[in-house]
Structure 1
Amino acid sequence: MNQTERRETTPPFTLLMAVYGGNSLREVERSVQSSTIEQTLPPSQIVIVRDGAVQEPVQRYLDTLQSTMSVWFTAEHPDEPVPEVTIVPLDENRGLAHALNVGLQHCQYDIVARADSDDVSLPNRFATLIPLFVRRSNAAHTDEQSRRPVDVMGSAIREFSDDEDDPGQIRMLPAEGADLERYARLQSPVHHPSVVFRKSTVLDAGGYPEHSGRFEDYMLWERLMLAHARFLNVPQPLVLYRTSEAAYERRGGSEMFRDELKLQWRFLRDGFTTPWQFLRNVFVRAAYRVIPTSLRKRAYRSMTSRHNTEIATSPQPPLPPQHGRHSAAPREDARATSTSSTMPASSATSEPHAPPLQ
């Protein structure tokens, strides 16, 4: 199926992002470019919520983004419609959950893809996820569990520090079903910057929980799982997740410790976790927040490696096919080689968005 045929058979979808004062122009521009013009299946609409005041170069970039998008697509995708750009300005920064809830109100389409303003989407991200999301939602299967439509789909992510061509470790997650349900009681079941979801499902669950500290996405997934939404993780890294030494410091501290305890109490109160799981999570996850940063970094890498090994040796669904002219680019081949040299050949899956313990 060529690009035009795939576009004709694939429903339109919205890309949802939020930017804030801490984002640099370099980060925002790279994230938008990788999620639009570089995609073999670009979004039909781009919603960017400006969460409070931003740096002046970022504001100028947002002000001219629609015309920039027109120039890009005329040059690179002349047969594709130019995505509609919707910039939603908020006067003050009230947190990511609030920004995304406001942004959802401006999304024209029920299929919404998330992207963070400092991460990079690989060229086949939407060409892989969107058709599979639609197919797994519409297909009839023999067992009752599989017959339910997919509501949230994520992918593996691959870390990088500053150089996209020098990627770090892959974060892995169980694909679906009972394994993912068990995993979700300790850690986030999907990577937030990789997800595609149904807007209607998220809104029916009340949207992103606000005033939830730094765990707005994990608490949303809890709401959806309690409402019997269906989750699926694609065993292929489709997003480069920006990380740094400072990230390990942000995962700890007294504020994160308090947010962690509130999260675990919420899960227990809602019946998402059992009393035993609550105690386990407080011991494992809360302790992770208060240990020194150097130990936190080692613990993170050790736990990620262990989870990757466990998940890679379990049965995995086949990799979705890759499509499009970008998929064979030398840059992507180099990344694929890097991936295969650090992981078993049969695996290419993921682990959670913020800490290994989100």
Structure 2
Amino acid sequence: MGNISVLLPVAATTDPDSLHRAYRSIAEQTTAPSEIVLVTNQSLTEDIETAISDLVNTHSVSHHEHFPDAQGLGGVLQAGLNSCSEPFIARMDADDIAEPERFTTQLTVLTETEADIVGSHLAEFRDDPRTSERMREVPTSHKEISEWMPWRCPVNHPTVMFDREAVLEAGGYRDFPMMEDWDLWARCLAAGLQFRNLDQALVRAEINDLANRRGGLDYAKAEIRMARELRQLDIASQRDTLKHLFLRVLPRLLPADTREKIYQIFAR
């Protein structure tokens, strides 16, 4: 058993079957986690409440933490992070599937290299988890990740495992709607933490009309807010900011079908 806490947020809209599927992929890891922390901050449906209760009652390493005052995803993740007891944190989403060797592979990198945060590519499927429709690839070295950071999020959030204390010292999660992960990685980079992405897909994620959810004025405003944050952290140059605004803000305002085609080409 590894010194790993799994941080798994559960939303009111979570599908119980998907949650059970995600949980099975955690239970089947070649390195078992010491604890699995399911975190919520919303009123849940009876089906989700039952699913969470079943998992907690069935697996002694699991517990459910509810934080009704936590603001947004960033707030509930930070509250959950504070509740985790192990030195290494593995993020999971409630509708994703971790490959069996994921925790073993990432724990080895964290304990045997200077890396503080380790992610991977993300395989996306639509109906059959065994068939990937596309791959969300990310840069692998710290240098490449640093070069992406000023204008494009270089880490797939559901794939990461990180050093808990190092991330907490960098400020941890905060309420930064729609950009919670990129905001955290940017502040971690500014604090001197070391990144690495593995050149393989350690997580499979289901596609649920992502392009539609990631468009609109609110997302465009979030991109502008993120661009401002990157400038304030002295990560992005003026040229980087212009690149960010042109390549990321404008597509958020395009029609959904056009945005979907762009997403299929660039996979974010």
What's the TM-score once normalised by structure 2's chain length? 0.95
Q: Which runs of 5+ in 2 are unaligned?
A: none
SS in 2 for 1:298: helix
1:195 aligns with 2:185: no
Deviation at 1:249, TM superposition (A): 0.8
Tell whether the 8 Å contact from 1:52 to 1:93 is kept in structure 2 after alignment. no
Deviation at 1:200, TM superposition (A): 0.5
Identical positions, percent: 28
Give the distance between the partners of 1:102 and 1:179, measured in 2 at CA.
Answer: 31
Tell whether the 8 Å contact from 2:7 to 2:90 is kept in structure 1 after alignment. yes
Give the distance between the partners of 2:66 and 2:173, measured in 1 at CA.
Answer: 19
**2:204 counterpart residue number:** 240
**1:267 counterpart residue number:** 230
1:285 to 248, 253, 261: 248
1:256 aligns with 2:256: no
Query: Deviation string for 1:145-192 (max 9, x for gaps)?
Result: xxxx21100011100113112221112111113222111222112110
**1:225 counterpart residue number:** 189
What root-mean-square deviation, in Å, do the aligned CA atoms of Structure 1 and Structure 2 show?
1.5
Deviation at 1:92, TM superposition (A): 5.7
2:42 to 49, 52, 64: 52
**1:161 counterpart residue number:** 126
Deviation at 1:100, TM superposition (A): 0.7
1:29 to 15, 20, 23: 20
Query: Deviation string for 1:292-331 (max 9, x for gaps)?
Result: 1111111122224xxxxxxxxxxxxxxxxxxxxxxxxxxx
Deviation at 1:29, TM superposition (A): 1.1
Query: Deviation string for 1:27-54 (max 9, x for gaps)?
Result: 111111111x221112111111122111
> Normalized per residue, which structure has more strand?
2
Give the distance between the partners of 1:51 and 1:123, measured in 2 at CA.
Answer: 29
Give the distance between the partners of 1:122 and 1:60, measured in 2 at CA.
Answer: 26
Tell whether the 8 Å contact from 1:161 to 1:242 is kept in structure 2 after alignment. yes
Tell whether the 8 Å contact from 2:56 to 2:64 is kept in structure 1 after alignment. no
Tell whether the 8 Å contact from 2:109 to 2:118 is kept in structure 1 after alignment. no
Give the distance between the partners of 2:140 and 2:127, measured in 1 at CA.
Answer: 29
Question: Matched residue pairs, number?
Answer: 268
**2:28 counterpart residue number:** 38
**2:58 counterpart residue number:** 68
Give the distance between the partners of 1:132 and 1:281, measured in 2 at CA.
Answer: 31
Q: Which amino acid aligns with 1:13?
A: I
Deviation at 1:93, TM superposition (A): 6.6
Tell whether the 8 Å contact from 1:112 to 1:199 is kept in structure 2 after alignment. yes
Give the distance between the partners of 1:14 and 1:188, measured in 2 at CA.
Answer: 24
**1:133 counterpart residue number:** 110
SS in 2 for 1:213: coil
Tell whether the 8 Å contact from 1:53 to 1:92 is kept in structure 2 after alignment. no
Tell whether the 8 Å contact from 1:248 to 1:296 is kept in structure 2 after alignment. yes
Give the distance between the partners of 2:192 and 2:69, measured in 1 at CA.
Answer: 35
Tell whether the 8 Å contact from 2:96 to 2:204 is kept in structure 1 after alignment. yes
Give the distance between the partners of 2:162 and 2:73, measured in 1 at CA.
Answer: 17
Tell whether the 8 Å contact from 1:24 to 1:55 is kept in structure 2 after alignment. no
Give the distance between the partners of 2:142 and 2:74, measured in 1 at CA.
Answer: 27
Structure of greater Rg: 1
Q: Which amino acid aligns with 1:192?
A: H
Give the distance between the partners of 2:107 and 2:124, measured in 1 at CA.
Answer: 23
Give the distance between the partners of 1:164 and 1:179, measured in 2 at CA.
Answer: 29
Q: Which amino acid aligns with 1:104?
A: L
